[in-house]
Amino acid sequence: MDELYLLFSFAFGSVVGSFLNVCIHRLPRGESIIRPGSHCPHCRSPIAFYDNAPILSYLILRGRCRSCGGRISPRYPLVEAMGGAGAVAAAIKFGFSPQALIYFALLCSLIVVSFIDLDHMIIPDEISLGGLAVGLALSFLHLLHGPKEALG
Q: Do residues 1 and 92 make contact, with C-beta atoms less than 8 angstroms apart? A: yes
Domain ranges, residue 113: 3-151
Q: Do residues 109 and 127 make contact, with C-beta atoms less than 8 angstroms apart? A: yes
CA angle 86, 91, 92 (to 5 degrees): 100
Number of domains in the chain: 1
Helix, strand or coil for residue 121? coil
Q: Which helix (H) or strand (E) holds 24?
A: helix 3-26
The predicted model scores a pTM of 0.87
User: Is the peptide bond preceding residue 36 cis, with omega within 30 degrees of 0?
Assistant: yes
Kindly give the confidence (pLDDT) of every residue in the chain, 152 residues in length, as a single tens digit, with 9 standing for 90 and above: 699 999 999 999 999 999 999 999 999 999 999 998 888 888 989 999 898 899 999 999 999 999 999 999 999 999 999 999 999 999 999 999 988 999 999 999 999 999 999 999 999 888 889 888 888 888 777 766 555 655 55
